[in-house]
Structures are given as structure tokens and as C-alpha cells.
């Protein structure tokens, strides 16, 4: 019996035409309508982000499982896993571990999508696995031109490999510095990940047993990493060591 693992999507806002996503570890614009859409897309799901993005946001995003990648982090509250109701924060030491937590938490929550929310290092790291991109292009024109230290989104969305599901031009509303274009793109040949589970007479019991084993691995990893981001045993062999 197989359990399908969640599909990976990107959510990103970049300037047009220069493709900037960040400057001085923050967003170089104010776009309230995009923040509202971001919330609607990601709420109740697992989100994966890099440590610099987490620092820039300043807190775990509420009602989401926040997985943060860092090789080096020291936690201000001393714990690699923190939980408060539906909000959770997990520090992960590498992409494999992050994806392991994302899969386990998504299967537990019956969610079929995981969102990588940046920054540029994360979009590069999960590039081969991404099936869908929620792309906001902030139509800054000449007002924001690229500077040497800007962070940019350079992911290749070749139309031979990606189809556009929707695209709309949005005038700037209240709280928006610029108009924008929102596009949803989907990979034509989607990557479907699944795992074999064979213990249990029904699919839901097999899932339950699998989840129980993964939560044990969670606990072991947490105990082994009291002061560092958590690392779990090699799971998927999807990333270069
Ligand atoms: N416009 C948008 O949609 C959007 C979205 C998100 C972010 N941003 C912007 O993007 C900028 C930040 O992006 P960024 O690319 O500089 O940083 P980032 O991707 O947010 O974080 C980079 C950090 O992630 C950790 N990391 C990266 N690869 C890792 C791996 N394989 N294993 C373990 N840890 C890993 C490292 O943390 P350690 O150094 O702790 O080891 C690294 O310094 C900010 O300006 C932010 O505002 C924009």
C-alpha cells in the first residue's frame, strides 16, 4: 500500500522587471493585498523557510507549521521544536530533515501541499521538487532597480515545462505600493512522491502506524539535538549530500 506524500509549491513575490525578492533582509515594498493572499494560500499548512527569512519575519507565522532551515541556529527559547496550538516551529538542519518533518506533519494534518516560502536559497534548494508556483510580480518598473546585494528569484519557469493555470492583473489597492500580476503555474510533468506502507488492514490504519513510527523518529531527533536544528536519519535521497 502506498501513501502519497505532499506536493511542493513555491509562494514568491518578485519585482518586475528585475526579479528582486529582498533587500537588506526585508521586502523592498509594501503590498498588503499580497500578504492577505499569502495568508489565504498557506494557512493551516506546513511552510518551509530559510533562517534569514524567518529572522526577517520575526516570529513563527500563526496557524501554520513553520519549518526553518539552518545549519547553525541557537534558539532563543532553547528548543528546536516549539508548539502553541495550531502554530508550530521546527528548526531543521538540512533539506532532507525539513522535508521529513513537512511530510509527517502534512500527512498527520491530511494536507496535500507543502509551501516553500523563501528566500532565494530555499527556492534553489527545493527547485527539482517544486510542482506549483504562486507568483506575484510586483510591477515596480523603474522605481526599484536591481542593486548589487539584492536577493533575486531566478527560478526557471520555461513555458515548455510549466503551464499557466491562472493569471490576473491587479491594480494597487489600499496598502499596496504598486499594482501587481498574480500567476499560478504548474509543472507539466509533476513529481509525485510516495512511500510504501504495508502494515495495517486498511489505508487509514497503515497511515496511523506509519505516523506513529515517524513521531518516534521525531522524538529521538529532538532528544539528540537539544541545542541544534534537528537532523533525522537520511530518508529520501533527493538532495546532494
Ligand atoms: N519576496 C518574497 O516572496 C520573499 C520570500 C521570502 C524571503 N524574501 C526575502 O529574501 C531574503 C532572504 O533570502 P536568502 O536567500 O538571503 O535567505 P534564506 O533562504 O531565507 O535563508 C538562508 C539561510 O538558510 C539556511 N540554509 C540554506 N540552505 C540550507 C541547507 N541546505 N541546510 C540547512 N540550512 C540551510 C542557512 O541558515 P544559517 O546561516 O543559519 O545556517 C542560510 O543562511 C530577505 O530579504 C527576505 O525578505 C522574499
> From the CA of 121, how far away is ligand 1's center (Å)?
5
Query: pLDDT band at residue 68, thresholds of 50, 70 and 90?
Result: very high
Nearest atom (ligand 1) to Cα of 11:
3
The predicted pLDDT at position 232 comes to 87
Residues with CB under 6 A from ligand 1: 12-13, 21-22, 25-27, 49-53, 56, 69-73, 93-95, 117-122, 125, 151
Query: pLDDT band at residue 69, thresholds of 50, 70 and 90?
Result: very high
- The CATH superfamily of 2-224 is Dihydrofolate Reductase, subunit A (3.40.430.10)
Give the domain ranges of the chain. Answer: 2-224
- Helix, strand, or coil here: 185? strand
The predicted pLDDT at position 239 comes to 67
Is the pLDDT assigned to residue 233 strictly greater than 80?
no
- Cell representation of residue 230: 534537528
> From the CA of 56, how far away is ligand 1's center (Å)?
10
> From the CA of 13, how far away is ligand 1's center (Å)?
15
d(CA 211, CA 218): 10
- State CA 235 to chain mean position distance: 18
Average pLDDT over residues 216-225: 86
Grid-cell match 518598473, residue found: 141
The predicted pLDDT at position 196 comes to 83
pLDDT digits (tens, 9 = 90+) for 153-202: 999 999 999 999 999 999 999 999 999 999 999 999 999 998 888 777 88
Which element (helix H / strand E) includes 205? Answer: helix 203-224
Q: Which of 4-18, 31-45, 81-95, 193-207 has the lowest mean pLDDT?
A: 193-207
169 has which bridge partners? 181
pLDDT digits (tens, 9 = 90+) for 71-121: 998 887 778 889 999 999 999 999 999 999 999 999 999 999 999 999 999
Nearest atom (ligand 1) to Cα of 14:
1
- State CA 154 to chain mean position distance: 17
DSSP secondary structure letters along 67-124: EEE-SS---TTS-SEEEETTEEEEEESSHHHHHHHHHHHHHHTT--EEEE---HHHHH
> From the CA of 199, how far away is ligand 1's center (Å)?
39
Q: Whose CA is nearest to atom 40 of ligand 1?
A: 70
Give the percent of the chain with pLDDT over 70.
97
Nearest atom (ligand 1) to Cα of 25:
45
Average pLDDT over residues 31-35: 98
Nearest atom (ligand 1) to Cα of 54:
20
pLDDT digits (tens, 9 = 90+) for 115-165: 999 999 999 999 999 999 999 999 999 999 999 999 999 999 999 999 999
Query: Which of the two residues, 117 and 210, has the higher pLDDT score?
Result: 117
Amino acid at each position: 500500500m502506498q501513501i502519497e506524500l505532499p506536493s511542493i509549491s513555491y509562494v514568491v513575490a518578485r519585482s518586475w522587471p528585475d526579479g528582486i525578492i529582498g533587500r537588506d533582509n526585508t521586502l523592498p515594498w509594501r503590498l498588503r493585498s499580497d500578504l492577505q493572499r499569502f495568508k489565504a494560500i498557506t494557512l493551516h499548512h506546513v511552510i518551509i523557510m530559510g533562517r534569514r527569512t524567518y529572522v526577517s519575519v520575526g516570529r513563527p507565522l500563526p496557524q501554520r507549521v513553520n519549518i526553518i532551515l539552518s545549519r547553525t541556529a541557537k534558539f532563543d527559547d532553547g528548543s528546536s521544536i516549539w508548539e502553541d496550538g495550531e502554530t508550530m516551529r521546527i528548526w531543521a538542519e538540512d533539506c532532507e530533515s525539513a522535508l521529513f518533518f513537512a511530510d509527517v506533519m502534512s500527512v498527520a494534518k491530511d494536507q496535500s501541499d507543502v509551501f516553500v516560502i523563501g528566500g532565494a536559497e530555499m527556492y534553489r534548494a527545493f527547485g527539482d521538487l517544486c510542482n506549483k508556483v504562486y507568483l506575484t510580480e510586483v510591477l515596480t518598473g523603474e522605481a526599484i532597480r536591481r542593486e548589487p546585494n539584492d536577493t533575486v528569484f531566478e527560478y526557471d519557469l520555461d513555458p515548455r515545462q510549466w503551464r499557466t493555470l491562472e493569471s490576473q492583473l491587479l491594480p494597487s489597492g489600499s496598502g499596496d505600493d504598486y499594482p501587481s500580476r498574480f500567476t499560478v503555474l504548474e509543472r507539466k510533468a509533476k513529481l509525485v512522491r510516495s512511500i510504501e506502507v504495508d502494515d495495517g488492514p486498511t489505508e487509514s490504519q497503515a497511515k496511523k502506524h506509519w505516523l506513529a513510527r515517524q513521531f518516534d523518529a521525531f522524538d529521538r531527533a529532538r532528544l539528540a539535538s537539544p541545542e541544534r536544528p534537528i537532523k533525522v536519519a537520511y530518508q529520501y535521497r533527493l538532495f546532494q549530500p
